[in-house]
Amino acid sequence: MLSIIGLLIGLGLLAFLIMKGYHIIIIAILCSAIVALTGGLNLYTAITDTYMAGFVSFFKSYFPVFLVGTIFGKFMEKTGAAASIAHLIVSKLGKGKAVLAVSLACGILAYGGVSVFVVGFTVYPIAFMLFKEANLPRRFIPGTIIFGSITFAMTCPGTPQIHNIIPIKFLNTTPMAGTTVGFITAIFMLVVGQIWLEKMIKSSVSSGEKFIPRASDNISNNDKELPSGLLSFIPLISSIVFLNALNFKVEVAVLCGNIIGFLTLYKHVNWKELSDDLGKASVSAVGAIANTCAVVGFGSVVKSVPAFTILVDAIVQIPGPVLVGAAVGVCLVAGITGSASGGMGIAVPLLAPIYLSRGVAPDALHRILAIAAGGLDSLPHNGYVVTTLNGICGESHKDGYAPVFWLTVVLPIIATGLAILLFTLFPNWP
């Protein structure tokens, strides 16, 4: 009983302190200590051995992916390739489809492997101008960007994003695992989410809301010469082809996309600043993966206490299709940690062997875990949500979070249910 109470306190405190803005590395160690003490573990070995084993293991497995991905995002940002792709999409759809243009621009960049933080910073100025010209309420800008970045794009088959890569190691699958159901679910999220978003905006406009300028607005058109929109797609497409058609390891595929990007967009590379840009990208990669490693280390301590066995037994005994338990497990952990990748780093190594032993198809399990992790992860304490709402768009949670909740929490949970239904009814689909 004491172990259960300690586990609940540790999990609750982790979520609360993350939401309050405390650094994840410090609070992960603190919460690990609480779980260890109440679970009867030796505190010193729980931190120096159990916690650090989980921390280092995740770093060892995924740092190359984080590094090349961060460099890729920096390259797309600094050359103007990301902005060029966004402008191309807007020009093709027209300003009358401003909201759809922003969603698709974010989705295409995210699917191609660009960091969602880069996507947010890149697309926001374009979204700002479009919403201003269309006189749409600015509080919907962060919801539109976050929806386009982390729903249909992040969990879709074939993407080099880390959420789609983590299950591969434990399930011996490929990035295209659960292809048919994965694409159906992604299209479902895109179509339903876009209709939902447009209806919310239309309702607000009907009630008198409009774009209200602020004294702090400092958005202007970038005079920097951008590369061709079509040429800018080449690095994205290259990474996806190397990953899925040629079956390269994800870090190799993205690295090849980087190289091809340098070759095709060399005129737009600032070679004098290249060394500094690569250094900044490397530091960002270390910071990003260290935050996730901290959560995974916490999970290593959690799975060592008696209460965890009780929790897992409860999850795997959830009635209904066998995939329900896996979806609930990874969704809950992602919600507690405020991170889809952190939640998967904890849950996938633990749940994968259990469900594989129960006869679940690895491809189906891979796709369900990836989609389900994208549900509760975007609660108010999620790092990308906080950064986009407050840091990029300058909106408060009170004004801007509601659309984020409906589109990136509720919608992915519904999509997870759809995916489970399809895998249950059509188990032989590729």
The reported pLDDT for the residue numbered 219 is 59
The reported pLDDT for the residue numbered 285 is 87
How does the average pLDDT of the chain come out, rounded? Answer: 89
Establish if 281 belongs to a structural domain.
yes
Burial grade of 14 (CB within 10 A; 0-12, 13-18, 19 or more): buried
Establish if 430 belongs to a structural domain.
no
Residue 375 has pLDDT above 70, yes or no: yes
- Answer for the pair 130, 98: CB distance below 8 angstroms, yes or no: yes
- Answer for the pair 33, 64: CB distance below 8 angstroms, yes or no: no
List of residues 6+ apart from 126 with CB closer than 8 A: 83, 86, 87, 90, 102, 105
The reported pLDDT for the residue numbered 295 is 82
Residue 204 has pLDDT above 60, yes or no: yes
Minimal CA–CA distance to 95: which of 131, 52, 71?
Answer: 131
Establish if 180 belongs to a structural domain.
yes
Please give the Cα distance from 182 to 423 (Å, whole number). 10
> pLDDT confidence of 320, banded at 50, 70, 90?
confident
The Cα-based distances of 183 to 33, 58, 362 in angstroms read 42, 28, 17
Establish if 27 belongs to a structural domain.
yes
Please give the Cα distance from 312 to 302 (Å, whole number). 11
The reported pLDDT for the residue numbered 224 is 66
Average pLDDT over residues 180-189: 97
The two tokens of residue 69 are: 């991905």
Establish if 128 belongs to a structural domain.
yes
Average pLDDT over residues 182-188: 97
The reported pLDDT for the residue numbered 284 is 84
Residue bearing the bigger pLDDT, 180 or 123: 180
Spell 225-245 as b/e; 16+ CB within 10 A means b: ebbebebbbbbbebbbbbbbe
Helices (H), 135-178: 141-150, 162-171
Please give the Cα distance from 263 to 265 (Å, whole number). 6
pLDDT above 70: percentage of residues in the chain = 97
* Cα dihedral 354, 360, 362, 365 in deg (nearest 10): -80
Spell 295-318 as b/e; 16+ CB within 10 A means b: bbbbbbbbbbbebbeebbeebbee
List of residues 6+ apart from 154 with CB closer than 8 A: 110, 111, 116, 161, 163, 164, 340, 374
- Answer for the pair 101, 371: CB distance below 8 angstroms, yes or no: no
Residue 302 has pLDDT above 70, yes or no: yes
Residue bearing the bigger pLDDT, 240 or 93: 240
Average pLDDT over residues 191-205: 96
The two tokens of residue 340 are: 């889809």
Output the CA torsion sign for 193, 195, 196, 200: positive
Average pLDDT over residues 260-267: 91
State which residues form the domain around 238: 2-212+222-425
Split into its structural domains, the chain has a count of 1
Residue bearing the bigger pLDDT, 356 or 18: 356
Average pLDDT over residues 187-192: 97
Residue 228 per-residue DSSP state: P
pLDDT in tens, 415-428: 999 999 999 999 99
pLDDT in tens, 391-413: 788 888 888 999 999 999 999 99
pLDDT above 90: percentage of residues in the chain = 47
Establish if 217 belongs to a structural domain.
no
408 CB neighbour count, 10 Å cutoff: 28
Residue 383 has pLDDT above 80, yes or no: no
Range from 147-156, 241-250, 308-317, 360-369 carrying the lowest mean pLDDT: 308-317
User: For the packed helices 98-111 and 81-93, what is the interaxial angle rounded to 10 degrees?
Assistant: 140
Average pLDDT over residues 79-90: 87
Average pLDDT over residues 257-273: 89
Establish if 49 belongs to a structural domain.
yes
First to last CA, the chain: 45
Residue-level length of the chain: 430
- Answer for the pair 418, 192: CB distance below 8 angstroms, yes or no: no
Establish if 187 belongs to a structural domain.
yes
Q: What is the per-residue DSSP string for 193-231? A: HHHHHHHHHHHHHHTT------TT-------SPPPPHHH
Residue 275 has pLDDT above 90, yes or no: no
The reported pLDDT for the residue numbered 218 is 63
Range from 210-214, 244-248, 414-418 carrying the lowest mean pLDDT: 210-214
